[in-house]
Structure 1
């Protein structure tokens, strides 16, 4: 099984045969052709107004030198584009905004894939008032 991205012999990142610098210099239409089908189709149909605003914020942030403050967003369905590499987003997970630092390997995924909305449940011992059956703890 081959991956869409890999590092070359020199350790240089490539995405479908293009380096990160080449991807960042390409027009959006050219980058879209390299993305997986679902992301490509969603962008070809047209980005929503909110997604356009987020893209503009990312372009403005890229021009600024202050990269410490994250871009806050609820848009978990925004495809990660080469323009986002190096930026920090604060993605909403349903409870709070969590930071996501965009790296080159994230190109072609959604922002929401890197911020989980559910946590794993770790049950403790049965509490006071528990029924006899729920108090049972196996000896293993």
Structure 2
């Protein structure tokens, strides 16, 4: 396992150990979107960077084997507005004013 991922796992373990009983551990921020979720990460709070902000997620058992990057998209989905003037062929014959 690469050094970055080992360091991140160490930080997650430390945050879980320092958390009081029956409380969520401290948030651990990361840019490692290509990190696979392992069983020892379950119950941790992770902030995954999407290119603009850190999105907070609590790791659950169903997420094991998935990548951290799968949890949040990196782009804003396109919402198309109304068509503008000249958007169709027939609008060439309609006077604009």
Q: TM-score, normalised by structure 2?
A: 0.77
Unaligned runs of 5+ in 2: 91-97
Q: In structure 2, how many angstroms separate the alpha carbons of the residues matched to 1:69 and 1:116?
A: 23
Q: Which moved more, 1:84-93 or 1:111-120?
A: 111-120
Alignment root-mean-square deviation, CA: 1.9
Q: TM-score, normalised by structure 1?
A: 0.55
Question: How many aligned positions are there?
Answer: 86
Q: In structure 2, how many angstroms separate the alpha carbons of the residues matched to 1:61 and 1:69?
A: 6
2:34 to 66, 77, 90: 77
Moved over 6 A (4+): none
| Alignment-derived partner of residue 89 in structure 1 | 46
Q: In structure 2, how many angstroms separate the alpha carbons of the residues matched to 1:123 and 1:70?
A: 36
The higher relative CO (CA closer than 8 Å, separation ≥ 6) is in 2
Alpha-carbon displacement from aligned partner over 1:13-63 (angstroms, at most 9, x marks no partner): xxxxxxxxxxxxxxxxxxxxxxxxxxxxxxxxxx22211110110111121
2:87 to 119, 128, 133: 133
| Alignment-derived partner of residue 16 in structure 2 | 62
Q: In structure 2, how many angstroms separate the alpha carbons of the residues matched to 1:55 and 1:69?
A: 14
Larger radius of gyration: 2
Unaligned runs of 5+ in 1: 1-46
